[in-house]
Chains A and B, each alone.
Chain A
Amino acid sequence: MEHTLSLEEVRHVARLARLVFKPEEEEMFRQQLSRILDHVQRLNELDTSRVQPTFHVVPLKNVMRRDETRPCLPRDEVLANAPDAQGGFFRVPKITEG
Chain B
Amino acid sequence: MSGKYEAVIGLEVHVELNTKSKIFCSCPTEFGKEPNTQVCPVCLGLPGVLPVLNEEAVRKAVQAALALNCEITSYAKFDRKNYFYPDLPKAYQISQYDLPLARNGWIELSGGKRIGIRRVHLEEDAGKLVHQGDITSAAFSFADYNRCGVPLIEIVSEPDIRDPEEARDYLTRLKGILQHIGVSDCRMEEGSLRVDANVSVRPVGSREFGTRTELKNIGSFRAVYRGLSYEIERQSKLLDRGEPVIQETRHWDEQNGVTRSLRGKEEAQDYRYFPEPDLVPLQLDPDWVEEIRRTLPELPEARKARFVREYGLPEYDADVLVSSPPIANFYEECVRLFGEPKTVSNWVMGELFRLLNDSGMEPEELKLRPSELVSLLKMTREGVVSGKIAKDVFEQMFRTGEDPESIVKKHNLVQISDKSALEPLVLQVIAENPKVVDDYKSGKKQAFAFLVGQVMKATKGRANPAVVNELLHKRLD
Contact = CB atoms under 8 A, between A and B. Distances in A.
Nearest to A67: B56
Contact of B138 (A15, A58, A72, A94): A94
A72 B143 contact: no
Interface string B172-183: 000000000000
Given A65-B52, A95-B135, A78 B142 contact: no
A23 interface: no
Contact of A69 (B21, B36, B139, B140): B21
A63 interface: yes
Contacts of B129: 92, 95
Contact of B136 (A73, A88, A97): A97
A59 to B, nearest CB: 9
Nearest to A66: B55
Interface string A1-41: 00000000000000110100000000000000000000000
Interface stretch (B37-45, B221-229, B303-311, B320-328): B37-45
Given A78-B36, A90-B143, A98-B265, A68 B21 contact: yes
Contacts, number: 127
Interface string A52-69: 000110101111111111
Contacts of B279: 63
Nearest to B270: A16
Contact of B53 (A64, A78, A92, A93): A64
Contact of A67 (B55, B84, B131, B139): B55
A69 B26 contact: yes
Interface string B137-162: 11111111100000000000000000
Given A86-B142, A90-B142, A95-B141, A56 B36 contact: no
B434 interface: no
Interface residues of A, number: 35
B280 A56 contact: yes
B203 interface: no
B142 A70 contact: no
B289 interface: no
Contacts of B26: 65, 68-70
Majority secondary structure of chain B interface residues (helix, strand, loop or mixed): loop
Interface string B50-73: 001111111000000000000000
B275 A55 contact: yes
A55 B41 CA distance: 26
A68 B20 contact: yes
Contacts of A18: 84
Nearest to B35: A88
B56 A87 contact: no
B280 A58 contact: yes
B36 A61 contact: no
B272 A16 contact: yes
A67 B19 contact: yes
B246 to A, nearest CB: 16
Given A60-B280, A88-B34, A97 B262 contact: yes
Contacts of B139: 93-94
A26 to B, nearest CB: 18
Contacts of B54: 64-67
B443 interface: no
Contacts of A86: 140, 142
B86 interface: yes
A18 to B, nearest CB: 5
B280 A92 contact: no
Nearest to B272: A16
5 contacts: A56-B277, A62-B284, A92-B141, A95-B141, A97-B264
Give the 8 A-B CB pairs with smallest separation, nearest first. Answer: A67-B56, A89-B142, A64-B55, A70-B26, A90-B143, A60-B280, A55-B275, A88-B35
Interface of B: 19-21, 26-28, 34-41, 44, 52-58, 77, 84, 86, 129-131, 135-145, 262, 264-265, 267, 270, 272, 275, 277, 279-284
Given A78-B39, A91-B140, 7 more contacts: A16-B272, A60-B280, A65-B55, A68-B21, A70-B26, A73-B44, A95-B136
Interface of A: 15-16, 18, 55-56, 58, 60-70, 72-73, 75, 78-79, 86-98
